[in-house]
Structure 1
Amino acid sequence: MSIGDNIRKIRTIRGYSQQFLADSIGISQSKLNRIENGKSDLSVDHLMQICEVLESGFNEILQTSNNFKKSFPKSEIKKPELIYEEHIRPLKEEMRALRNQVSEISCLLKKQKT
């Protein structure tokens, strides 16, 4: 397996889309696609960011042998529902709270003007 194959495999196991990972590390989805397909080089900075987002070590991404499955026990594989509960739901709740705060501030500013 190549480094790009490993990135794709780990990203898929984690339940992340190419777009999500690309946005998370500040590159385009097409650039990530080229990296995963071995058609573009991967900088050390982007490798470090990918490791952070995927919660993965360098050894898992850089290993090129077929022992890949041994490095991912099933207990570490997150289901999409868990990803939603752990990451997306809290962010949605935080966004809702921020919207409410912005709305309240907007109302206060309108009252001050009158």
Structure 2
Amino acid sequence: MSSRVNVSGNELGDRIRKLRTAKGYSLRKLAPLVGVGFSYLSKVENGRLDFGGAPSESLIHRLADVLDADEEELLLLAHHVPQTIAQQIFDHPNLFRVLARCNDQQLKMIERQAHDCAK
């Protein structure tokens, strides 16, 4: 289970298209492999879902499996917070409250420092 967040753009559709074409799949070939119609998959790639939302977590999971993609990345691009990240938020609420108050410049600095620590 994940929480929903609001992000802009069609990064998910662009990423799925890139992964799909890298695998040499057409929409018609990929769609049955993930259990949806090709027209629905086209709408996902083009950011034109009828209900204006994001595809389900189960579809994202299937896409990640078939396309050998990072499931957490696709979930985030689909406006879902992966359970692993949600758990960190619940385990460290004070940290995330502080982060939520940071401006973009501060967050970029923190992100660079976090990447340095992970090396």
Q: Which runs of 4+ in 1 moved over 4 A?
A: none
Matched, 1:13 2:22: yes
- The DSSP-based 3-state class of the residue aligned with 1:42 is coil
Choose which of 22, 29, 44 in structure 2 pairs with 1:35.
44
Q: CA RMSD in A?
A: 1.7
Greater Rg by CA: 1
- What is the TM-score normalised by the length of structure 1? 0.51
Q: Report the CA distance between 1:62 and its aligned residue.
A: 5.2
| TM-superposition CA deviations, 1:18-57 (whole Å, max 9, x none) | 1111111111100000000011231100000000000111
Choose which of 53, 58, 65 in structure 2 pairs with 1:52.
65
Task: Judge conservation of contact 1:4–1:36 (CA < 8 Å) in 2.
Answer: yes
Task: Judge conservation of contact 1:3–1:36 (CA < 8 Å) in 2.
Answer: yes
Task: Judge conservation of contact 2:57–2:75 (CA < 8 Å) in 1.
Answer: no
Matched, 1:3 2:12: yes
- What is the TM-score normalised by the length of structure 2? 0.49
| Structure 2 match to 1:99 | none
Which has the larger share of helix? 1
Q: Report the CA distance between 1:59 and its aligned residue.
A: 4.4
Task: Judge conservation of contact 1:6–1:62 (CA < 8 Å) in 2.
Answer: no
Task: Judge conservation of contact 2:17–2:45 (CA < 8 Å) in 1.
Answer: yes
Decide whether aligned partners of structure 1 residues 19 and 34 sit closer, same or farther in structure 2, where only a CA change above 3 A counts.
Answer: same
Equivalenced residues, count? 64
Runs of at least 5 residues in structure 2 that lack an aligned partner in the other structure = 1-9, 78-119
1:46-85 equivalent positions in 2, closer than 5 A: 46-61=59-74
Task: Judge conservation of contact 1:51–1:58 (CA < 8 Å) in 2.
Answer: yes
